[in-house]
Amino acid sequence: MHFEKLVFIDLETTGANPVSDRITEIGLVEVDAQGQASSWSSLVNPQVSIPSFIQGLTGINNAMVQHAPLFAELAPALFARLEGALFIAHNARFDYGFLRNAFQQAGLSLRAEVLCTVKLSRKLFPLESKHNLDALISRHGLQPGGRHRALADADLLWQFWQHIHANLPAADIDAALATLMQRPSLPSHLPSNALDDVPDTPGVYLFYGERNEPLYVGKSVHLRQRVLSHFNADHKLYKDMRLSQQLHRLEWRKTAGEIGALLLEAQLIKDLQPIHNRMLRRQRQLCAWRLQDDGPPVLSFASEETFGHAERLYGLFSSKRKADEALRELAGQHQLCLVKLGLEGRLQANKPCFARQLQACKGACVGEEAHGLHTARLEAALAGLHVKTWPYAGVVGLIEKSVEETTEIHLVNNWCYLGTATSDETLWALMEQAPARPAFDVDTYKILHKALQRGQLRVHPLPSFAALQQISAQE
């Protein structure tokens, strides 16, 4: 296996907790693609006292670190050394965890590929029971330059690496590395650099097949991680395997945040109908019960113009059958009258409904329960299914900001997503294309209803993009 850069690294710390304990020494051996090694180490001032048993173990005492640089001072140069390198350590989770935390506090986000030499040793020498550094020293005849100091221990790992490469078949080592690192295996039809530029921001990604047919649309707040997760070597999902085989081209669209990604994903799935996306529920059938003052509830379909504007709407149901079932079930639970609900004809004029004869209806059909009371009880029973009507006069802009402070404005009317504007021009273009009474959209309804409830979005009636940006800047 080929690596651009290896960094064998070891840390000394004030204790074992990566959050509350501090680094006191960093030692590393850096090996470039040509196999040239260079080493670097530094004591670190932990700004806390080192417990005496740790002082005894490492030989690093308070006096030694008192004038050493702070981690924050070392961070930029150390970060540059680790960038693009395979991070190799003994119990790598420990060292990596400590460094990630320390870097985070210095405002840097460490993201390296990690290899643990304990795991590597266990994989290569499965019959051995001990894999600590002392065991490795005696088993392989490594030369310790001084134990429990960072650079000396890092150098032992470099020796171990050289030792296995000199004594074991390369294929065995590669196989062990492949399982340990679970490198994503790139789909065979994608160019090798196809994933290089995928950003780790919120957004939507699109997979295309050989004849440029859309295969799959997905979204994530961590685009890069999500895309790579489709190709993880240990992914046994049949769907991902098939996707990987068919994938010829990859596209992505960055969004400011999660809501934009959700809206765009839903729209692209509807427009492109990718083969591997579960076919979205057909919206033709989508319906809800609308209550009226007189007469039984009326089934209202999402394709109707007024849907989403109507008050007293309860649903949503994917078909008339589902709507009937739901209402019947509620009637049973609440002793409502199926005749009054329009779900059952009368057996005979002026005779009680069938359920009444079993005392399962409170008698609205024969006037023993007042019509108003029956309606009120029905409304209460349906409360959990209330469809929030479009509460605005027309098109509104929902403002979402990215961490980099870019602003996106999602245009929505009647729970229908019209597009996202990132400038005055795109805003007006979208406004021009927007239908006057767009059809209710259930995906948008679900996405936005939740976001608005959580207070994740700010709503503005639409003046201009610039005005909106000003408003958003003042918030």
Closest distance of CB 435 from Zn ion, Å: 43
The residue (of 119 and 356) whose beta carbon lies closer to Zn ion is 356
Residue closer to Zn ion by CB (options 365, 448) is 365
Cβ nearer to Zn ion, comparing 271 with 368: 368
Which lies closer to Zn ion via its Cβ, residue 251 or residue 368? 368
Report which of 401, 405, 400 is spatially closest to residue 447, judged by C-alpha positions: 400
Cβ 356 to Zn ion shortest distance, Å: 4
Nearer to Zn ion, 268 or 361 (CB): 361
Q: How far is the CB of 214 from Zn ion (least distance, A)?
A: 52
Distance CA 228, CA 208 (A): 16
CB 371 to Zn ion: min, Å: 12
Both tokens of 325, joined, read: 């079932």
- Shortest spacing between CB 337 and Zn ion, in angstroms: 3
Helix/strand/coil for 93: helix
Reported as type and span, the H/E element at residue 321 is: helix 320-334
CB within 8 A of 203, min separation 6: which ones?
A: 219, 220, 223, 252, 253, 254, 255, 261
Cis, bond preceding 82 (omega within 30 deg of 0) = no
Cα gap 105→102, rounded to integer Å: 5
What gap in Å lies between CA 310 and CA 330, rounded to an integer? 22
Smaller CB distance to Zn ion: residue 84 or 367?
A: 367
In the bound state with Zn ion, the residue whose beta carbon lies nearer, of 116 and 365, is 365
405 Rama class: left (phi>0) / alpha (psi -120 to 50) / beta? left
Per the CB < 8 A criterion, the answer to whether 267 and 417 are in contact is yes
28 near 81, Cβ under 8 Å?
yes
User: How many whole angstroms separate alpha carbon 155 and alpha carbon 7?
Assistant: 10
Burial of 47 (0-12, 13-18, 19+ CB in 10 A): exposed
Of 108, 119, 118, nearest in space to 81 by CA: 108
What is the closest distance, in whole angstroms, from the C-beta atom of residue 403 to Zn ion in the complex? 58
Closest CB 342 distance from Zn ion, rounded Å: 12
Q: How far is the CB of 339 from Zn ion (least distance, A)?
A: 5
CB of 260 to Zn ion, least distance (A): 50
**Cα 6–Cα 133–Cα 175 angle in degrees, nearest 5:** 50
Q: How many whole angstroms separate alpha carbon 303 and alpha carbon 159?
A: 71
Write the DSSP string, 107-153: T-----EEEEHHHHHHHH-TT-S--SHHHHHHHHT---SSTTSHHHH
Contact yes or no for 88/115 (Cβ under 8 A): yes
Shortest reach from residue 292's CB to Zn ion, in Å: 18
87 contact partners, CB below 8 Å, separation of at least 6? 7, 9, 95, 96, 112, 113, 114, 115
Using CB under 5 A, list all residues that contact Zn ion: 337, 353, 356, 361, 365
Q: Which is nearer to Zn ion, 188 or 348 (CB)?
A: 348
Q: How far is the CB of 376 from Zn ion (least distance, A)?
A: 16
The two tokens of residue 206 are 């699109």
Strand runs labelled E in 14-58: 23-32, 37-43
Q: Which is nearer to Zn ion, 92 or 336 (CB)?
A: 336
Nearer to Zn ion, 99 or 336 (CB): 336
Q: Which is nearer to Zn ion, 240 or 344 (CB)?
A: 344
Residues with Cβ within 8 Å of residue 425, at least 6 apart in sequence: none
Provide, rounded to whole angstroms, the least separation between the CB of residue 295 and Zn ion. 15
93/371 with CB nearer Zn ion = 371
